[in-house]
Chains A and B, each alone.
Chain A
Amino acid sequence: MTDPDMGGTGMTLAAAWGLLPAVLAVGLTALVLGVAFAAVDSVVVSGGRLRSAVEPLRSSLHWLAQQRRTTLAPDRLLWRSGVIAVPVLAVLSLAVVPIGGRTLLSTSADLVWFNAMEALLWAAVWLVGWGPNAVHSLVGAYRFLAQGLAYELPLMFALITAGLGAGSLRTMDIVATQENLWFVVSMPVAFVVFLASAAAFAFWGPFASPAGADIASGVMSELSGVDRLLVQAGRAVVLGAAAAMSVALFLGGGSGPGLPEPVWYLLKTLLVIAVIVSVGRRIPVTRPDRFVEFSWMILIPATLLQALWVALLVLSGFYP
């Protein structure tokens, strides 16, 4: 639809601000979203104590000052690669999320980019679990893959449903199509599945079994110091980025009365974060084996039906 290189509203963040400031803006946004998610999560876990909101900051500083530990005969190269990849992929997924009404990149396949970053997380988390040469850590890594098998297809169908409605895989086109009616109204299943998958790829809340208490925190169990900081930050940024992406895909982006677009966008993102946390912390962890069954028997058919429904709406000219 719009040509990203033509300037005006179709312009990318990189073209509008210059590459370096744009990248910095994305990094800063990642930090803000990650901190926001971690702070809300911390408040909810502590039973609603507002001063717990500073705990993510405190833990981060603590990890910076903490000794890095190692294990006997670790696969150091792969371990460190995985640890670094988690936050890097999280930030990269933000490249196609609108910031101030523009995305850093705008390709004809933004949704594929976003999904690719999540798919690469499979490898990254696997390596984090594999690296330390430790039982619990490895079991955690296996669990992540098993869980990935459960959530990845529903996630792809959910993403593609938003693209289908807009007739484009470009994030800004999807936002523009929702001018009159937010996608969440016509594709609620895709919205919910997308948010649940976000929790799953950050192995958080009900999908935290790869880092479960029953395996001494699994893939996290051997991480201390800056390694722990990187992985925890990556998880928080993934969740924050997914919340922001869900606003673009399903909640009309920055549209809203009165306030400027970025403010609306931020408010909606914070609301989504609050909803994810308050729902996610109300329920126990799912066991991956049971979740796989649920996912293949119920979620995949549900998302397929959702896509079919949206396809019929597209044919009937429901979307502009």
Chain B
Amino acid sequence: MVMMNGLRKWVLAQPGVLIVDAPGNDRLRWQVEAEMDRRGWHVALSPADAGLMLTIGTLPPALSQATEVLWSQIPQPRHRQAIARSDVAWQLDAAVAALTTPSAYEANPSDPATQLSQVQAQNTANGSDSGRQGPGHGMDHGDPGVHGMSSHDMGGHSTNAHNVNGHSNHTTDSHSGDDMGGHDGQGMDHVGHSTGSDADHGMDHDDHGMDHSAHSGHDMGGHMHHGGEVAGLEMAGTAADRDGLELDELKVTLGPVLPGWPTGLVLKASMQGDVLTNVSLSWIDGFVPDSVAQRSEPGSAVAALDALATFLLVAGWPVLARQARIARSALSSGNDAERERGQRAAAAVARRVSRSRFLAWSVRGIGDAGPVNSARLPAGDAATYESRTADVLDRVRALAAAAAGDKSPLARVGPERIEFLLEGAELAATRLIVASFVFKPSPALLPNGAVHD
């Protein structure tokens, strides 16, 4: 028995970690990532790969809802831990210890679908922005049991729990009878013909929810506005692609939680093959000012290293991404000797990034803002790298220069400023383009839930 416990502890000692960081908590996230690197823990690329979910700081409402859906997709044994203070090592110890307790094997307190509906009810209750999901969401759901919750979920990941109007009568304790509704709506974007066969729901939906058959019949019935559905989801429809061909079209949402992606950023688009059109990019939620979160921006070298580490992860260079994170953590330490070591490490990473011919060959020419387009950037950024330079490679080399100690301040852009670069780009290019920018922080969320810049 003792041996079995020892074995279990050993087996679970290196979990995959899904990090959900509230905006403004970069420093705490860096501490967590540094501690993870020290322990050899890896960042989970999808919920399927995760054992631990760490939430950092106070999550704004919409992000917190997305987190619930993500949590429902993580296989047992699993544990979630809120990291709010800076004694990170202790908190990670506690988290990994909790993985070996029976609680790590508990099913969801309620099944995922119920959580979805609760989440949605909360969303309605707290009045958070429900008008963001674009046209078509305010569909005619006369039946209060109908959810139309469009939680798309790319790769089980980029969950985004939207709300639809017409649900104000829901409360947080909405009963499980809603769950089939939550299910059905999931992954559907009522506007277009988003797909049953292609959209991913990534939910563990196995048998949960089936026990609620008393209610489910009602919900299932109330739901289907379109024909040809599979498991309650519509089949993909077709639309003209960028070359005018009639192709299957899928509504997708990337974010708000994806590895190598600014947490809270949401991209909505139509996808044909892997080409994205009708792209919109925005923050899902504002920033919650609390005791830990801070708006003060870190030194530009540290921020550049952070952006580089993210880019390198997306570009599929994990070894160098790790070195960038190590340099970042050394550079932001209080110790002079350590900072000096960090500077050397940062310079080494920068050198490898700028000199890599392989990287240059792989990413050159994508996300080309071009000299003409620099006019579209805000005037204040004129002297900064986006406007001077054109494609992903140039931006990344500028980041590398900043990481190596180039003193010019990092330019930050609002997400909507780069939408035009993503129009018609492939999924891979889209991710690289987004990762090549440093974004302005999301606007602050006032106590009444309104967003304020």
User: Interface residues, chain A, CB within 8 Å of chain B?
Assistant: 44-47, 49, 52, 55, 58-59, 61-62, 65-73, 132-139, 142, 206, 208-209, 212-218, 220-225, 228, 281-287, 289-290
Of A70, A138, A209, A283, the residue contacting B204 (CB under 8 A) is A70
Tell me if B45 and A217 are in contact (CB < 8 A): yes
| Residue of A44, A214, A281 contacting most chain B CB atoms (<10 Å) | A214
Tell me if B76 and A72 are in contact (CB < 8 A): no
Chain B: CB-nearest residue to A51: B40
Residue B259 at the chain A interface, CB threshold 8 Å: yes
Residue B59 at the chain A interface, CB threshold 8 Å: no
| Residue of B49, B155, B231, B258 contacting most chain A CB atoms (<10 Å) | B155
Residue B431 at the chain A interface, CB threshold 8 Å: yes
Bound-state CA distance A289–B429 (Å) is: 11
Residue B233 at the chain A interface, CB threshold 8 Å: yes
Q: Can you add 17 more A-B contacts, CB < 8 Å, to A70-B205, A135-B199, A206-B316?
A: A52-B40, A55-B14, A58-B14, A59-B14, A71-B201, A72-B183, A72-B203, A134-B155, A134-B156, A139-B274, A208-B316, A214-B432, A216-B45, A216-B258, A217-B155, A283-B317, A290-B361
Bound-state CA distance A158–B318 (Å) is: 30
Residue B103 at the chain A interface, CB threshold 8 Å: no
Tell me if A67 and B155 are in contact (CB < 8 A): no
Binds A, one of B124-132, B170-178, B307-315, B416-424: B307-315
If the complex has contacts A135-B250, A284-B315, are A66 and B76 also in contact, measured as CB distance less than 8 A?
A: yes
Bound-state CA distance A87–B448 (Å) is: 55
If the complex has contacts A62-B11, A223-B48, are A73 and B233 also in contact, measured as CB distance less than 8 A?
A: yes
If the complex has contacts A136-B46, A222-B200, A283-B358, are A209 and B183 also in contact, measured as CB distance less than 8 A?
A: no
Tell me if A137 and B155 are in contact (CB < 8 A): yes
Tell me if A71 and B200 are in contact (CB < 8 A): yes
Bound-state CA distance A47–B12 (Å) is: 21
Residue B75 at the chain A interface, CB threshold 8 Å: yes
User: Interface residues, chain B, CB within 8 Å of chain A?
Assistant: 7-8, 10-15, 40, 45-46, 48-49, 51, 73, 75-77, 153-158, 183, 186-187, 196-206, 230-231, 233, 250, 252, 258-260, 271, 273-274, 312-320, 322-323, 356, 358-359, 361-363, 426-428, 431-432
If the complex has contacts A62-B12, A134-B200, A216-B155, are A45 and B319 also in contact, measured as CB distance less than 8 A?
A: yes
Tell me if A221 and B46 are in contact (CB < 8 A): yes
Tell me if A58 and B13 are in contact (CB < 8 A): yes
Chain A: CB-nearest residue to B15: A62
Chain B: CB-nearest residue to A225: B75
Chain A: CB-nearest residue to B252: A135
If the complex has contacts A133-B200, A137-B200, A138-B198, are A284 and B359 also in contact, measured as CB distance less than 8 A?
A: yes
Tell me if A68 and B156 are in contact (CB < 8 A): no
Tell me if A214 and B260 are in contact (CB < 8 A): yes
Tell me if A47 and B259 are in contact (CB < 8 A): no
If the complex has contacts A213-B318, A214-B260, A282-B319, are A136 and B200 also in contact, measured as CB distance less than 8 A?
A: yes
Of A49, A206, A212, A224, the residue contacting B428 (CB under 8 A) is A212
If the complex has contacts A52-B40, A67-B75, A136-B157, are A222 and B48 also in contact, measured as CB distance less than 8 A?
A: yes
